[in-house]
Amino acid sequence: MDNLDWQNLGFGYRDTDYNIRCYYRNGNWGELEISSSNIINMHIAATSLHYGQEVFEGLKAFKGKDGKIRIFRMDENAKRMQFSCEGILMANISVEKFKEAVLLAVKMNERFVPPYESGASLYIRPLMVGTSPEIGVKPANEYLFMVFVMPVGPYFPEGFKPTDLIIMRNYDRAAPQGTGKYKVGGNYAASMQAGKIAKNQGFSAVLYLDSREKKYIDECGPANFFGIKNNTYITPLSDSILPSITNKSLMVLAEEMGLKVERRKVPFEELSTFEEIGACGTAAVISPIKGIYDADNDKWFSYGTEPGKWSTKLYNKLRAIQYGDEPDNYNWVELI
C-alpha cells in the first residue's frame, strides 16, 4: 500500500481494507456490516448467478488540496440504483441507507483515497445481488447489498488524450424495450464480445447505434456520447442508454458556459457534422474522441488529434468541482 504509484494506477481491481454489506431477509434490510474479507458465500441456486439478478453503481470520491474528501452526486447514484432495482424486480434500498453505506466504505478505507496531486480518485462500487435460491425464472426474496472501493486512474489508459471508437452494426448491447437504461450486469455481459473486438483492433470502445433501426447514436459500452457543434452540446435521447450522471452534470455546465444543450435523437449521418465528440462517464470522465470508424462501410469520421476547446473546458470545470478547486454551486459534492 505504501508504495502505491498513485500517478499510474490505471483502472483495475485492487484490494482495500474493508467493504460494507447489508442483508435483505424477511422483507427487511438489516444493519450495515463492515467486513475485511473480499469473499462472499452464496447459494448455488442464487438468482444473481443464474438469471442475472444483479444491479450495480459507480461513483467516485476525490481528495482536495485542503485534504478533505468529496463524494460526487451520491444521491443521483442512489436514485439510479433504485430505478435499476425496480427494473429487474429486486428489493429496493433507501437513498439514506445507500449513502450511509457509501460514506462508511470511504471512511473505512480513507488511506486509499489518492492524494490531490495524483489526479486519481477512489472508485466506489455499490452492488446488489439476489441471493436466495430459485430455479424457475422469478425474483429472489433475499438480497445482499455491498459497497467496495479502490483507488483508480482513468478508465481509458490514454486519459484525456483522444482515442477512437468503432461502430459495428451486427452487435447490440441492449434491446429497444430492454434493460439498457438500467445498470444491470447483463448489459455488460452483452457488450463483451463487441468490446473485445474493438480493443483488439485498437479502439477504446464500441459506439452503439439504436438496436431497432441502426439509425441513431445510442452510447458507448461504458459511457454516454456527446457531440459539440455550432456552440451546441448534443447528446442522444434514447430509452436504451444508461442515464449518465456525468452527462447530466455536463449538460448543466455546458449551459453555464454559454453552450446550447440539446438532448434528442442523434441521426448517424450527423456524425460528419460535429466539431468535437466525447465519451463521458464516472470511470471515463470525459474521453475525447479523435475518430469514429464505421466498420460496416469502411469509413472514418475524424475530429482532430487534440482535445477540442469545449471538451477541455468541460473536463476542467467538472474536475475542479469534484476536487474542490472551484465552488460547488449546485450542491453536487458531499464532504466527508
> Nearest distance from residue 315's CB to ligand PLP, in Å?
13
Nearer to ligand PLP, 151 or 281 (CB): 281
Q: Is 314 in the site for ligand PLP (CB under 6 A)?
A: no
Q: Is 180 in the site for ligand COI (CB under 6 A)?
A: no
CA 336 – CA 290 distance, rounded (Å): 37
DSSP state of 216: B
DSSP state of 273: G
Q: Is residue 261 within 8 Å of residue 297, measured between CB atoms?
A: no
Taking CB under 6 A as the criterion, the residue among 61, 206, 207, 223 binding ligand PLP is 223
Taking CB under 6 A as the criterion, the residue among 282, 287, 311, 322 binding ligand COI is 282
CA 23 – CA 43 distance, rounded (Å): 14
Among positions 79-98, residues that touch ligand PLP (CB under 6 A) are none
DSSP state of 22: E
CA 191 – CA 210 distance, rounded (Å): 14
CA 36 – CA 165 distance, rounded (Å): 39
Q: Is 282 in the site for ligand PLP (CB under 6 A)?
A: yes
Span of 45-53, 196-204, 222-230, 303-311 interacting with ligand PLP by CB under 6 A: 222-230
First to last CA, the chain: 22
Q: Is 313 marked active-site? A: no
Span of 16-24, 211-219, 277-285, 302-310 interacting with ligand COI by CB under 6 A: 277-285
Span of 111-119, 239-247, 254-262, 294-302 interacting with ligand PLP by CB under 6 A: 239-247
Nearer to ligand PLP, 131 or 163 (CB): 163
CA 132 – CA 45 distance, rounded (Å): 7
Taking CB under 6 A as the criterion, the residue among 55, 108, 283, 286 binding ligand COI is 283
Amino acid letter, 298:
D
Q: What share of the chain is helix, strand, coil (3-state, %, to 5)?
A: 25, 30, 45
Number of residues that bind ligand COI (CB under 6 A): 5
* Residue 245 interaction partner, one of ligand PLP, ligand COI, none, beta carbon < 5-8 Å per kind: ligand PLP
Q: Is residue 186 within 8 Å of residue 179, measured between CB atoms?
A: yes
Span of 143-151, 166-174, 269-277, 279-287 interacting with ligand COI by CB under 6 A: 279-287
Among positions 92-131, residues that touch ligand COI (CB under 6 A) are none
Among positions 36-65, residues that touch ligand COI (CB under 6 A) are 58
Number of residues that bind ligand PLP (CB under 6 A): 12
* Residue 154 interaction partner, one of ligand COI, ligand PLP, none, beta carbon < 5-8 Å per kind: none
Question: What residue ranges in the chain does DSSP mark as E strands?
Answer: 19-25, 28-29, 33-35, 54-56, 59-63, 69-72, 121-130, 143-152, 163-167, 205-209, 217-220, 224-229, 232-236, 260-264, 276-281, 285-294, 299-302, 333-335
Taking CB under 6 A as the criterion, the residue among 114, 130, 151, 222 binding ligand COI is 222
Q: Is 211 in the site for ligand PLP (CB under 6 A)?
A: no
Q: Is 253 in the site for ligand COI (CB under 6 A)?
A: no
Q: What are the cell numbers at 335?
A: 464532504
286: left (phi over 0), alpha (psi -120 to 50) or beta: beta
Distances 177 to 129, 204, 238 between C-alpha atoms, Å: 23, 27, 10
Q: Is 278 in the site for ligand PLP (CB under 6 A)?
A: no
Q: Which of 60, 183, 290, 317 is catalytic?
A: 183
> Nearest distance from residue 317's CB to ligand COI, in Å?
19
Residues annotated as catalytic (active site), given as ranges: 183
Binding site for ligand COI (CB under 6 A): 58, 222, 281-283
